[in-house]
Structures are given as C-alpha cells and as structure tokens.
Amino acid sequence: MSAGSPGDGDGDGPGDQPFHLLTQAWIEGTLDPAGERELLRQVRSDAQLRAEFLAQARTSAVLASLLKDTDGESARRVALVIRARSESRSFRTSKSVIDRIDRGARGASMPFSRMRMRTRILLAASVLMMATLGGAVWWAEQSTADTASTIAALSGDGRIMRAGAEIPDLADLRSHDVVLAGMTPASVSYPDGTSVVMDPGAQARFEDVTGAKRVHLVRGGIQVSAAKQGADAPMVIATAQAEATVVGTRFSMAIDGERTRLVVAEGVVRFTDSRGSIEVAQGGAAVSAPVGSTGTRLRVLTWNVDHGERNVFLQAKAIADAGADLVALQQVASPAAVAVYVGEIERITGVPWHSAWAAEKPGKETCCIISRFPLLASDVRDIGPSSFGGSRRAVHGRVAVSGRNLAFVTTYLDWVADDTVNRAENLRQLLEWTATLPVPQILTGGFRSYHDSTFIDTVRSRYDDAWQEVAGTTIGPATKGRRIDYVFRSRDASQAIVPVRSWVLDTGLSDHKALLTDYLVAPP
C-alpha cells in the first residue's frame, strides 16, 4: 500500500490513512499532495499526534545530519542505541532512516554524496512542513527550524540531550539543548567569547532568545565569563529560585539545596529572587532568600577607618550612601571622632542615629557602633591586653528589628603579627563575654586573622560566617591584603536572621575596605 492510498484502518490515527505511514512517507519525500493534506489534518486535530510528529521529525533530522560523517561510524553508533529501544511507534520512522544510513555506510547503491543531498532536502522539507502547520504546532512545542542553528560549542566532559535523547559525538550546541557535565567539568563556548564552565555533575539548558543568551541551571554550579552583551540582549542565568542578568562580567552561580548562590568576580550582575532585584558588584555575593521567607532587610557594615586619616566627613558620606542600618567602626581616632561620624550621617540621612563606643585608652583609639535603630541597651567590656598598652575592648548594643531584639557587637583584636598570645586571649575573653549576651547576635569587627586560621575556626565553632553562608566558600574578598574583617551571626539565630547578600566596598578612604552584609530578620 502506498502512503497516498487509503489506509487499512489499523488505528494509528484518525482518518483513513495510518499516521505513522504518512509521517514516514513525508520524511522520505514520497508523500503525495493528498497525503500531505491528510497528515496536516491529523496533526492539527490531535495533540498527541502533533507531539509525536514533532519528535519523529526532529529525531530523523538529527540522524540524517550524521550522514556528513563519511565513514558512517557515528550513524552506526546511534543506530545501535535506537535499536536497543522498544518497537514502539515513536521509533519506527527513526529506524527507517537508520536502515538507509546503514545501507549507505555499507556502500549501497545510493552514494554518500547523494545521501547528504537528500539530508538537505529532508531538513528543508521539515521547515516547510512546520511552516504549513503554523500555529497548530508552534504553541505545542518549538520546531526543529528554531533549534537547527548552532549557538555554542561544547567541550570537556559533557553530554548533549536534545528532545529527550542523547546526541553522541556532537560538540555543536543548539537552542533548548540540555548539557550534562560528567565527572570533570564541561565547557560551553559562544562565538562572542562568552564561556560557561559547568562543575562536575551540573546540568543546564541553553537557549537563544532572539540573540539573547539564556541558561537555565537545573543542578550544580557554573562559572561564567561573559563578553560584553548588547543592552537589549543581556545574558540571563536562571534557576528555580533566582535569576542573574549580566551585560559583561565574570561570576559563578550554583544551586545549594533550595537556594541559589551568586559570586561576582568582575563587573556587575543583577540578581533577582522572590524578594526583588539587587545589583551585585565585583567582590560581592548573593544567595536567594529561603522559600516563603518574610521579614525586614537589615544591612550591616563593618569598617576599619584607619583613624579617619583620609577624611572623616567623606567616610561618613560613604557610610550613609551605602544604606547601612547597623554600623561597626574600628580604629576610630577618638571618642570625639565618633560624634563627628554620627553628626555627619544624621545630616546626610535626615534622621537621628544612635551610638556607643569603647576606647582602648582613655580618649584614644576607639571602636564603636552606630545604629539607625534606638539602642535599647549598651555595654562595654575589656577583652585582654593590647600590644600597645591598655586593653582591647568590645562594645555591645541592643536594638529591635522586625519586632525581634538583636545584640550587635563589635571589637578589634590585637594585631601584632608575631605576638598571637594577646590575640588568643582577646578572643577567649570576647567569646566568654558574648556567651552571656542574649541571642540572636551579630558579631563584627577586625579579627586580624585569615579565614583558614585557628582563630577564625574558634569563632566559627559558635557563629556562622556571613560570607561563607552567602557565597558557599570561606575564601572571601580581601578587606586588607586578605580577608581579616568579618560579620558573624550566632548559630542559634539560624531561623531568625538569614544572610542574603555580602560584599566589600572599596572607597579608597581607608587602608581597609568596608564589609557589608544584608540579613533578612524574621519577626518572632
């Protein structure tokens, strides 16, 4: 029975002619006009047949494209994979194409040059048929015409999944392809120089939307180095929890449980989650808010101002412009200088601020807290000797945020590099004191210790490091040479205070950079 003749009514589809025979004849180019009209009618009237037609057309086009492999080895490997599948109707057309491939590979009567020409005809016919089906097919699923162009190249340990089937031995990535990284990283490279390096085990779908790059990260992590993108076609990296929009930058993004982390190495990224959008600049990190989380944003800033030697008034302006709610300053020149900071911040913001301070020596170097919230209580504590005489001190202030009382503490540990005895004693007394303070707590300041030191490990035994929580790594942005300034939260505050962003602010107004962290404070 020819495909154009009446069918035997075997139930493959509505009408007089079996759907699978019509589809096979169309792919082989033997379907007459009457048969095309019948196929069109069946596909338009039945969503299941429409989806099956698209799947078979796509699979056949992929297989036929393998004919450019002149020794036929790739085609034979694909044939083995599909032959291992069941005898389901979905693979009948594919098998007919495989049979032709095998005959060509074995030197059958149709030479490969003619078969490659036949491939081009097949692909062109696919485009025409999709255009004929028009809206009836478009809304059901993207057509092969939309995904036929190469958008990027895959290298490294990665596999391409296209329309649910693995595409072996192909490095060309098309829109809507899914890439699965293996035991080692896989790399996707775009023609403009943009690259996406996928961590082992990561999975992502790559799309091209009218020239704009879209990456849907399903699991794992990626590192992105983006060339400058057009303002009207930014690159977007999306997960189930958040979205990053870039114009040109280097950053990493990873899924960690139910949260998505972003770390920006260069440039600026717009990070969007359920709570809105923020700009994350170089040296910053953000993490999506927990699903269903509520509360008030609390911005914490800690900064060693180096005695205000580079202009106290400009430093105060930088603090006000940063939008901080709780400020911890170290190495303030004197208690009198605290009043200057407070007065200038009040002048710029137009609202009253509140402060408490602790001088290392009477009238000398001071650490202080400055709060947008009224201080419900404050306290100062000696925490042991200083290498420069006097005592190191810490200051605590109690504030109410989102209906929850919060303890805010800052200090500045002894910093002489070859004398860690004083620093160890400072830390011991500090933690002994904070253990008596109510929770939740935010502990900030100059700990004069690197992220991998025993001093910081001791603090982390009781507190969570904000940068580590947000970025997923202890290696953070340098505040002076390396990371020596920190923001911590008491571990028992894990449900009350959730960090969502952390970054450094390089004003050039001190030998230290300011460190900022945004917390989400939930109501009790």
How confident is the model over 296-311, as pLDDT tens digits? Answer: 899 999 999 998 888 9
Residue 59 amino acid letter:
T
Q: Is the pLDDT of residue 205 over 90?
A: yes
Identify which has the larger pLDDT, 465 or 121. Answer: 465
pLDDT-derived band at 145 (thresholds 50, 70, 90) equals very low
Q: For the purposes of burial, counting CB atoms within 10 Å of the CB of 51, is it exposed (0-12), middle (13-18) or buried (19 or more)?
A: middle
Instruction: CATH number of the domain at 211, please.
Output: 2.60.120.1440
How far does the chain reach from its first CA to its final CA, in angstroms? Answer: 76
Position of tokens 């001093």?
455
Task: Give the pLDDT confidence score for residue 113 in this predicted structure.
Answer: 36
**Amino acid letter at 498?**
V
Cβ(345)–Cβ(370) under 8 Å?
Answer: yes
Q: At residue 263, does pLDDT exceed 70?
A: yes
Domain boundary among 246, 269, 287: 287
> What does the pLDDT read at residue 459?
92
- Mean pLDDT calculated for residue range 124-149: 39
Domain around 234: 149-287
Residue 167 shares a structural domain with residue 279: yes
Assess whether pLDDT exceeds 60 at residue 17. Answer: yes
Tell whether 176 and 114 lie within a shared domain. no
Q: Is residue 283 part of a domain?
A: yes
Q: Give the range with max mean pLDDT: 89-93, 186-190, 255-259, 492-496.
A: 186-190
Structure confidence at residue 492 (pLDDT): 74
408/484 same-domain check: yes
- Residue carrying structure tokens 């095309």: 36
- Is residue 51 in some structural domain? yes
In a domain, 140, yes or no: yes
Same domain, 443 and 314: yes
Q: Which residue has the higher pLDDT, 412 or 170?
A: 412
| pLDDT recorded at residue 494 | 62
Asked whether residue 261 carries a pLDDT value surpassing 60, the answer given is yes
- Burial call 254-283: b when 16+ CB within 10 Å, e when fewer: bbeeebbbbbbeebbbebbbeeeebebebb
Dist. CA 226–CA 106, nearest whole Å: 46
- Can you list the alpha helix ranges (DSSP code H) found in 19-91? 19-28, 33-45, 47-65, 73-83
Q: In this predicted model, which residue has the larger pLDDT, 82 or 484?
A: 484
Pair (404, 509) in one structural domain: yes
Q: 229 and 138 in one domain?
A: no
Q: Are residues 255 and 314 in the same domain?
A: no
Mean pLDDT of 380-385: 92
Residue 26 domain flag: yes
In a domain, 263, yes or no: yes
Domain membership of residue 9 (yes or no) is no
Flag whether 10 is in a domain: no
Average pLDDT value for residue range 463-482: 85
Residues 302 and 449 in one domain: yes
Within this chain, do residues 373 and 408 fall inside the same structural domain, yes or no? yes
Residues 270 and 327 in one domain: no
Q: Is residue 11 part of a domain?
A: no
Nearest to 459 by CA among 477, 447, 471: 447
Do 110 and 174 fall within a single domain? no
**Residue the block writes with tokens 């042991």:** 384
Any idea of the CA torsion for 331, 333, 334, 339, to the nearest 10 degrees? -100
> φ, ψ for residue 203 (rounded to 5)?
-140, 135
Dihedral over alpha carbons 49, 51, 55, 56 (to 10 degrees): 10
pLDDT at residue 170, as a whole number: 67
Q: Kindly give the residue spans of alpha helices, DSSP state H, lying in 182-329.
A: 312-321
Residue 517 has pLDDT above 90, yes or no: yes
Task: For residues 87 and 198, state if they share a domain.
Answer: no
Query: What pTM value is reported for the model?
Result: 0.64
Give the pLDDT confidence score for residue 104 in this predicted structure: 44
Q: What is the tally of structural domains in the chain?
A: 3
Last residue of one domain, picked from the residues 144, 173, 207: 144
From 269, 287, 305, give the residue that closes a domain. Answer: 287
What are the pLDDT digits (tens) for 209-235?
Answer: 888 999 999 999 999 999 988 878 889
State the pairing for strand pair 150-162/250-256.
unpaired
Lowest mean pLDDT among 58-62, 169-173, 245-249, 472-476: 58-62
